[in-house]
Amino acid sequence: MVRQLCILIISLLFLPLANGNTRFDQALLDLTQQSFKIKATAVDIISTSQHEKSQLLLQTLLAGDLYYNKNSKQLVTILDSDDELEEVTTKSLLSGEESNGLSDSIIKKVKINNQMRIRIKAALAQFELKHDDPQVRLNAVRNMAKNSNSNIIQDLKAHLSDETDSNIIALIEETLALSVLRFGNEKEQLEAIESLSHTSNVKAKTLLNQIINTAGTEHYSTTIIAASRNAIKRINDTEKLNKSVETLFFGISLGSVLLLSAIGLAITFGVMGVINMAHGELMMLGAYTTYVVQLLMPNTIDYSLFVAIPAAFVVAGITGILIERGVIRFLYGRPLETLLATFGISLILQQLVRSIFSPLNRSVETPSWMSGSIQINEMLSLTYNRLYIIVFALLVFAALIYVMKKTRLGLQVRAVTQNREMARSMGIRSGYVDALTFGLGSGIAGVAGVALSQLTNVGPNLGQAYIIDSFMVVVFGGVGNLWGTLVAAMSLGVINKFLEPWSGAVLAKILVLVFIILFIQKKPRGLFPQKGRAAEG
Amino acid sequence: MHNTILLKHIFINNRVHPSVLAVLITIAVLVPILNLLVPPDSFFHLSSYSVTLFGKYLAFALLALSLDMVWGYCGILSLGHAAFFALGGYAMGMYLMRQIGDRGVYGNAELPDFMVFLNWQELPWYWFGFDQFWFAMLMVILVPGFLALIFGWLAFRSRVSGVYLSIITQALTFALMLAFFRNEMGFGGNNGLTDFKDILGFSLQDDSTRSVLFALSAFALAFFYVVCLLVVNSKAGKVVTAIRDAENRTRFVGYNVEQYKLWVWVFSAVIAGIAGALYVPQVGIINPGEFSPLNSIELVIWVAIGGRGFLYGAIIGAIVVNVAKSYLTAAMPDAWLFVLGALFVLVTILLPNGVMGLIKTKPTKQADINGVKPHEST
C-alpha cells in the first residue's frame, strides 16, 4: 500500500511524462484480476502504451506463458519448475529479476479467453505492421481485420501512408472500408460502400448483404441500404466480367490449339488440295519426338522444348516428304483416293508407334517455366501453359504467313497451286515444290504435336482426337485461306468454351459440329471462300 | 417389255449375278443344316460360333452393298455410313431391350437396367412402341432414312460435294458417337444396349435362332442384291451413273441432279439400317463405338478392295477383309493395322477399281469414277 502510494506520488511529480506509465502499471495490475472484461481493457491500454515491453508482454500472454505472483502481484514467466518440491523459479517480466524457491501455489497463470486472444492478436499486429517482411505485414493486417474495432481504423490509416506494397495497400483499404461500415458515421459509411464496390472480396459481399437484410429496422438508413444494393450489383457485375474474361481466355487457348493442329492441314489441304488423313499422326510423331528428346536430356527438362520444336519439325517434315514422294504424288487430282491412302498411312503410323513405344500413354514433363499462373486479380488467374500456347500458335501462324507470302518457296507454291502447267513452263520444278510444301505442312503438324504434348496425354491415339476438329476448322475457315483458318480456329474455340458452362463439354462439342455441318450447307466454301470461276472444284 | 429385257440382261446374259444369288441361297439353306442336323462330331458340322461369325460378315456385306450404291454408282464418298448402320442397330437393340422385361438384373418390367441404374422413373417418350416388333422394324427403316433425307436434302441442295461432303458425313457420325456416349441420351451411354434375351419369343442363345438369323441375313443380302441390280439398271439408275461420271453435264442436260442423289442416298441409308438390324441380334450388343469414324472408313476400304460399281465387288470385299481381320487379329494382333493400312495404300495406288476391276476386263475410265476431273497435269 505504501509502495503504491509512493509510486502514485512520484508519478504525480512527473505527470506529463509518466501519465502513460501509470495507466500502464495499473493495467499490469488489472491483468492479475479474474474478470476477463477488466483484463481485456488492460490489454487495450497496454497495446496503446508506448512501453518498450508491451509487445513482449502481449506475446507472452498470447502464448499462455504469463504468470503472476499472488503476493507481489508481479507479472512473471516461469524459468524452471520442480514438481517434487513444488517449487518454481520465476523471472519478472518487467524488471528481469529472478527469484527461486517460490512455492508454486503462489504463482498463478493469467488466463485469457478467445475474445481477448483476438484483441491481443490485433494489438500485436500493430507492432508487426512495422516489420520489414511484407508477408508478416500482410498477416498483421489480416489479423487486425479479424478484430475490427474502432481503434484499428486510426492505426491502419496511419500506416497506409507508409506502406509501399500494393497488395497490402489494397487489403488495408478493404479492411478500413469494412471497419468504417461498422463503426463510422453515415458519410464515412457511404464512402466505404463505394470503395467496397470496387473489390471482389467475399467478406465485403457478406457484410453488404447483412446490411441489406436489416432493411426495415432502424439499424441503417435507407440511403445506406440503397447504396449497398448498388454496390452488390456492381460486385456481381465485376464477377461476371471476370468470368467472361476467363472463359474468353480459355476459348482463345482452345482456339490456339485448334489453330496449331489445323494450320498444317491448311497448307496440305487448303493450298495443295491434298486430303491428308495422316495429319493427326504427324502431330503424334511430334509429341513422341518431345518424349524422346526429354529421355535424351533428363537433366535439362527446362530447355527440352527448345530442342524438341526443331526436332519435331524435322521428324514430321521428313515423314511428310516421304509420304508425298511415296504415295500422294501418284494421286494428285483424285482427292478421294488420297483420303483413303493417307488414312492407310495413319493406321500404319499408329501401329508403328504402338509397337515401338507400347500402347500406353507416355508422360511428357512440363518445364518449370510453363507451370504456374499469373494472378490478374482475386478472381482471375491465367495459367502460363495456356498463355504460352496462345503466343506459340500465333508465332507459328506468323512464320507460316511469312513463308507463304514473302519467300521464294511461298511464291512457287502459290504459282503451282494456281496453274501447274504455267508454273512448270516458267521453270518451277513442280514435283520438288509439292514435296517441300507437303513437308512444310507436315513439319508444322509436328510442331503442333510438341505443344499438344504439354496439354494432353501422349499416346498412339493422340492424332485421331484432333483430326476431325482440324478438318472442321479448315473447311469452316475456307479452304486455301490461312487467315480464314485463324478466324475459324479462334471463333470455334471461343464458341465452344462459352457453350460449355451452359451445356456441358460433350454437348458443346456436338453443338459446334452440328453448327459447322449446317454452316457448310449455307456457305459450302467456308467463311472466306477463294475466288474463282470454276463451275466445280 | 422393257422389264423383260432388263431381267434378261441381268440374269441371262450375265453369268456373275446368277452365281452370286445361287451362292447366297445355297449357304442360306446349307449352313443351318450343317449346324443343326449334322451331328457335332462330324467333319461337316459347323459350330454355332462360326454361324454367328458368318452371319456378321453377311450383315457387313449388306452394309458394303449400301455404300457401293452411293459411292460406286453415284460418286458420293460417305465417310459416315456406319452411322446409318448403327442407328438401325440401335432401333433393333431397343426392341430386344424391351423384350428382356423383368428378367434384367433389377427385375424392372418397364425400364431397362441402365435406366434403373441411373434412377430414371419412367421410360423416355422415344422408347415407346419399341416393345412391338413391327414398330421397331418400321423404325429400323425410318430413322436412318429420315436422317439421310434431312442431311442429304440440306447437303445436295446447297451442292456440297466431293471432299467436303465426305468430311461432313464424318463429322455427322462423330457427333452422333459423342451424343450416344452421353448417359442423358437414354441409350445406355458407354455400354450401349446388351444382355438381350430373345427375339419374337425365340431365345437368342438357341442354335436354331442363330441359324434362322443367319439364313435371314443371307436372304436379305440376296434380296437387296437383286433390288440394287434392278435399280442401277433402271433408267433412273443410268441417270445416277451419269451424275457420277459428269455431274454438271447431267445437270445441264436437264435432269434434277439433287433429286436423284437424294433418292439414292436415302435408299442406301435404309439398306445400311437394315444391315445394322440384322447385325445386332447376332453379335448381341450395340454400343456407340459403332458410330466411330474409323468404322465408316474401314467400310470404305472393303468396297475399294472389292471394287466399286459392281455390287458383288462390295460383297466380296467385305467378306474377304473381315475374314482376314478375324484371322489376323487373333493370330497376329499387332500386324492387323499394318495390313489394313497397307491395303489402303496399295489398293488406291495399284488397284483403283479393286480386285474385281482386275478380273473384269471391261475398260473403265478410272479417273472419272468418282466424279472428279483429272488434274490438269497429272
pLDDT of residue B2: 64
Grid coordinates belonging to A43: 490489454
pLDDT of residue A147: 64
The answer to whether the CB of A46 falls within 8 A of the CB of A27 is yes
Domain span at residue A99?
67-109
The answer to whether the CB of B213 falls within 8 A of the CB of B281 is yes
pLDDT score of A26 more than 60: yes
- Number of Cβ atoms within 10 Å of the Cβ of A441: 28
pLDDT of residue A4: 66
pTM: 0.76
Domain-located, residue A497? yes
B86 touches chain A (CB under 8 A): no
Per-residue pLDDT tens digits for A446-456? 999 999 898 88
Q: Which of A279, A330, A334, A422 is best to mutate for the B interface (most B CBs within 10 A)?
A: A334
CB distance A345–B178 less than 8 Å?
no
pLDDT score of A5 more than 70: no
Cα of B298 to nearest chain A Cα, Å: 10
- Which of A228, A237, A166, A172 has the alpha carbon at shortest distance from A200? A237
Same domain, A173 and A297: no
Same domain, A184 and A95: no
**pLDDT confidence tier of residue A173, bands split at 50, 70 and 90:** confident
Locate cell 502513460: which residue? A20
Per-residue pLDDT tens digits for A472-493? 898 888 877 889 999 999 999 9
Residues A346 and B238: their CA atoms lie apart, in Å, by 36
Domain-located, residue A233? no
Q: How distant, in Å, are the alpha carbons of A252, A270, A404, A416, B371 from that of A422?
A: 41, 20, 19, 8, 25
The DSSP result for A389-424, as a single string, is: HHHHHHHHHHHHHHHHHHSHHHHHHHHHHH-HHHHH
Residues A389 and A366: their CA atoms lie apart, in Å, by 13
**B10 compared with A436, residue with greater pLDDT:** A436
In eight-state DSSP terms, residue A271 is: I
Q: Which of B154, B159, B164, B183 is best to mutate for the A interface (most A CBs within 10 A)?
A: B164
**A405 compared with A212, residue with greater pLDDT:** A405
Domain-located, residue A61? no
- List of residues 6+ apart from B308 with CB closer than 8 A: B68, B71, B72, B314, B353, B354, B369
How many Cα atoms are found within 13 Å in the side-chain-facing hemisphere of B199?
23
Phi-psi map region of A96: left, alpha, beta (phi>0 left; psi -120 to 50 alpha): left
Closest residue of chain B to A359, computed from CA coordinates? B334
Q: Which of A333, A513, A516 sits opposite B375 (nearest CB)?
A: A333
Same domain, A459 and A427: yes
pLDDT of residue B320: 92
pLDDT of residue B323: 93
Size of the A and B interface in Cβ pairs below 8 Å = 145
B37 touches chain A (CB under 8 A): no
Residues B310 and B351: their CA atoms lie apart, in Å, by 14
Domain boundary among A54, A78, A109: A109
pLDDT score of A398 more than 80: yes
Q: Annotate A213-238 with b (16+ C-beta within 10 A) or e (fewer).
A: eeeeeeebeeebbebbbebbebbeeb
pLDDT score of A13 more than 60: no
**pLDDT confidence tier of residue A537, bands split at 50, 70 and 90:** very low
Largest Cα–Cα distance in chain B?
Answer: 68
A427 touches chain B (CB under 8 A): no
Residues A263 and A474: their CA atoms lie apart, in Å, by 8
pLDDT score of A186 more than 80: no
Q: Which of A335, A343, A348 sits opposite B372 (nearest CB)?
A: A335
Q: pLDDT under 50 in chain B at which residues? A: 362-378
pLDDT score of A17 more than 60: no
Largest Cα–Cα distance in chain A?
Answer: 122
Measured in Å, how far apart are chain A's first and last C-alpha atoms? Answer: 112
Cα of B174 to nearest chain A Cα, Å: 8
For residue B214, give the amino acid letter.
F
Cα of B335 to nearest chain A Cα, Å: 8
CB distance A344–B166 less than 8 Å?
no
Phi-psi map region of A64: left, alpha, beta (phi>0 left; psi -120 to 50 alpha): left
Residues B312 and B317: their CA atoms lie apart, in Å, by 8
Closest residue of chain B to A345, computed from CA coordinates? B341
We report the CATH number of the domain holding residue A437 as 1.10.3470
pLDDT of residue A188: 75
pLDDT score of A201 more than 80: no
- By residue count, chain B amounts to 378
Grid coordinates belonging to B47: 459350330
pLDDT of residue A151: 64
The answer to whether the CB of A86 falls within 8 A of the CB of A158 is no
Q: Is residue B102 classed exposed, middle or buried when 0-12, 13-18 and 19+ CB atoms within 10 A define those classes?
A: exposed
SS (H, E, C) A445-501: HHHHHHHHHCCCCECCCHHHHHHHHHHHHHHHHCCCCHHHHHHHHHHHHHHHHHHHH
In eight-state DSSP terms, residue A112 is: -
Residues A500 and A496: their CA atoms lie apart, in Å, by 6
pLDDT of residue A150: 61
Sign of CA dihedral B197, B199, B202, B205: negative
Q: Cα dihedral angle (B156, A486, A465, A327), rounded to 10 degrees?
A: 70
B304 touches chain A (CB under 8 A): yes
Alpha helix positions (H), chain B: 2-11, 16-36, 48-67, 73-74, 81-100, 113-117, 133-157, 162-181, 207-233, 235-245, 247-253, 257-283, 293-306, 312-331, 335-350, 354-359
Closest residue of chain A to B175, computed from CA coordinates? A510
pLDDT of residue A8: 59
In eight-state DSSP terms, residue B325 is: H
Cα of A124 to nearest chain B Cα, Å: 57
Domain-located, residue A336? yes
Domain-located, residue A371? no
CA-angle at A115, arms to A114 and A118, nearest 5°: 85
- Which of B348, B345, B327 has the alpha carbon at shortest distance from B336? B327
Cα of A289 to nearest chain B Cα, Å: 21
Closest residue of chain A to B372, computed from CA coordinates? A334
Locate cell 511430334: which residue? A286
**A303 compared with A6, residue with greater pLDDT:** A303
**A115 compared with B72, residue with greater pLDDT:** B72
- Number of Cβ atoms within 10 Å of the Cβ of A506: 14
- Kindly report which listed range (A203-212, A425-434, B51-60) carries the lowest average pLDDT score: A203-212
Locate cell 426495415: which residue? A216
A380's enclosing H/E stretch is strand A380-383
For residue B196, give the amino acid letter.
F
Grid coordinates belonging to A68: 503472476
Residues A368 and B285: their CA atoms lie apart, in Å, by 47
- Chain A residues whose CB is inside 8 A of the B79 CB are 339
A316's enclosing H/E stretch is helix A301-326
Same domain, A394 and A253: yes
Same domain, A421 and A310: yes
CB distance B367–A333 less than 8 Å?
yes
A475 touches chain B (CB under 8 A): yes
Residues A228 and A191: their CA atoms lie apart, in Å, by 11
Grid coordinates belonging to A282: 504427324
For residue B355, give the amino acid letter.
V
Same domain, A191 and A71: no
Return the percentage of chain A with pLDDT > 90, whole number.
20
A528-533 long-range contacts, CB within 8 A, separation 24+: A528/A477, A528/A478, A528/A481, A528/A483, A528/A484, A528/A487, A529/A478, A529/A481, A530/A478, A530/A479, A530/A480, A530/A481
Domain-located, residue A369? no
Domain-located, residue A318? yes
Residues B334 and B312: their CA atoms lie apart, in Å, by 30
Question: What does the pLDDT average to over A97-126?
Answer: 78
A136 touches chain B (CB under 8 A): no
Residues A231 and A191: their CA atoms lie apart, in Å, by 11
Residues A137 and A157: their CA atoms lie apart, in Å, by 14
Say how many domains are in chain A.
3
- Kindly report which listed range (A129-143, A353-367, A369-383, B364-378) carries the lowest average pLDDT score: B364-378
Same domain, A159 and A248: no
- Which of A107, A124, A104 has the alpha carbon at shortest distance from A61? A124
Domain-located, residue A60? no
- Chain A residues whose CB is inside 8 A of the B341 CB are 344-348, 351
B305 touches chain A (CB under 8 A): no
Q: Is residue A325 classed exposed, middle or buried when 0-12, 13-18 and 19+ CB atoms within 10 A define those classes?
A: middle
- Chain A residues whose CB is inside 8 A of the B301 CB are 340, 344
State the ipTM, two decimals.
Answer: 0.81
A56 touches chain B (CB under 8 A): no
Grid coordinates belonging to B84: 446409318
- Which of A516, A345, A362, A306 has the alpha carbon at shortest distance from A442? A345
Grid coordinates belonging to A321: 516428304
The answer to whether the CB of B83 falls within 8 A of the CB of B173 is yes
Grid coordinates belonging to B329: 487379329
Residues B354 and B348: their CA atoms lie apart, in Å, by 8
Residues A210 and A199: their CA atoms lie apart, in Å, by 17
Residues A37 and A14: their CA atoms lie apart, in Å, by 30
Locate cell 494489438: which residue? A123
pLDDT of residue A378: 67
Same domain, A202 and A285: no
The answer to whether the CB of B371 falls within 8 A of the CB of B249 is no
